[in-house]
Amino acid sequence: MTEHSAASTPLQTSEGHKKSVAALKQRHRDTLIRAIANVLSSEIAAFTYAQIVDGLPLKDTALDVYRGCVCPRHPLLDEHDQLCPGVLEHTRALCRNFDVGALEFDVMWLMLIFSNKLIHDYQSASPASSAFNTRLIELVTRAVHHVAVWLYKQDTNRHKKDALGVWRPQKEHVRHFPPTFPSTLFCHEWYRDYDQYPEGMADCVGYWAEARIFGGVVLFDRRDRESAPDADERVDPEESLADTGIYRDLWERRVRPLSEGDARVTGEVDTFNYNSFEDWVDANKRGREARQKQREREREGVE
Ligand SMILES: [Zn+2]
């Protein structure tokens, strides 16, 4: 894994990519740059990126997860309620690489993280059309994710050698920590398959950052138009991405093993995460069937 490989400058790019950007029509290019700049200049983006540069989440961020806390009993919950001195300035300096208002900003770096197909699809869509807006959202999301990846790879962690950084949980509590710990606590509960990510653990940090900034990881409906059902139909995150057709990249999430449970089959009626009681009943049934199938597969795999 290359989680701390020396990061290249974000301004490096290739000839092929330069061509695809150069080919972007003015309006498409301007809209893209403005959209990325708007998100990057938001307070939540600055605060999120600063924590990556700091190296540890702040107490309130660590507690702001769906299930309790990302690091129970960690001393940061008492001691890390503010960014370390100088971190904000350091983050600002690093983020000048992404400052679209600055002369040195070069949109080319963005092209490193966009496939030619995505650029082509964006370019082919008429401004303000649904296809245009969807591709624009995907481009912005990938840019926001990539800034987090790049910042993490700068290896600025202020806590590497101090008491907060070297603290470890007792054996029986380790399972409550994300699988990326102790390398990083910046990990979204559902996006932690770093062994299959192109940027390894840095991609976990990227998913965490986009969830903080956008309120969730941004996925897309990749199904054919004919097979796409109603907008209010629930798609269970527990199902495989290949089956649901809802994802950004197919490698982003594996199906969870049986040992990790399934929120659909806990037996407790849940009308908070489901649209209605009927919705929960249906999901519960799907969950039980999926687990039965998985159990059979796992059994076959063992034998
Ligand atoms: Zn700190």
CA of 83 to the centre of ligand 1 (A): 5
* Structural domain boundaries enclosing 225: 219-303
Residues 209 and 188 in one domain: yes
Residues 191 and 255 in one domain: no
CA of 79 to the centre of ligand 1 (A): 9
CA of 118 to the centre of ligand 1 (A): 37
Q: According to the model, what pLDDT value does residue 149 have?
A: 94
Query: Cα dihedral sign for 188, 51, 114, 133?
Result: positive
Domain boundary among 165, 193, 218: 218
Residues 96 and 166 in one domain: yes
Residues 227 and 124 in one domain: no
| Contacts made by residues 80-87, CB under 8 angstroms, sequence distance 24+ | 80/56, 80/164, 82/58, 83/50, 83/51, 83/54, 83/58, 84/54, 84/55, 84/158, 84/159, 87/50, 87/53, 87/54, 87/158
Residues 121 and 158 in one domain: yes
CA of 189 to the centre of ligand 1 (A): 22
Residues 225 and 237 in one domain: yes
Q: According to the model, what pLDDT value does residue 68 have?
A: 82
Q: According to the model, what pLDDT value does residue 15 have?
A: 55
Residues 89-120 as b/e (b if ≥16 CB within 10 A, e otherwise) read ebbeebbebbebeeeebbbbbbbebbeeebbe
- Residues of the chain scoring pLDDT < 50: 1-13, 101-106, 303
pLDDT per residue over 60-80, tens digit each? 999 999 888 999 999 999 999
The answer to whether 143 and 213 are in contact (CB under 8 A) is no
Domain boundary among 199, 218, 237: 218
CA of 53 to the centre of ligand 1 (A): 9
State the Cα–Cα distance between residues 203 and 150, nearest whole angstrom.
9
CA of 85 to the centre of ligand 1 (A): 8
Q: Which amino acid is at 182?
A: P
Q: How many domains does the chain have?
A: 2
CA of 109 to the centre of ligand 1 (A): 29
Q: According to the model, what pLDDT value does residue 22 have?
A: 56
CA of 73 to the centre of ligand 1 (A): 17
Residues 119 and 174 in one domain: yes
- pTM (2 decimals)? 0.88
Residues 72 and 147 in one domain: yes
Residue 114: which residues within 8 A CB-CB, separation 6 or more?
139, 142
Residues 201 and 280 in one domain: no
CA of 157 to the centre of ligand 1 (A): 8
Residue 38: which residues within 8 A CB-CB, separation 6 or more?
none
Residues 80 and 104 in one domain: yes
CA of 14 to the centre of ligand 1 (A): 36
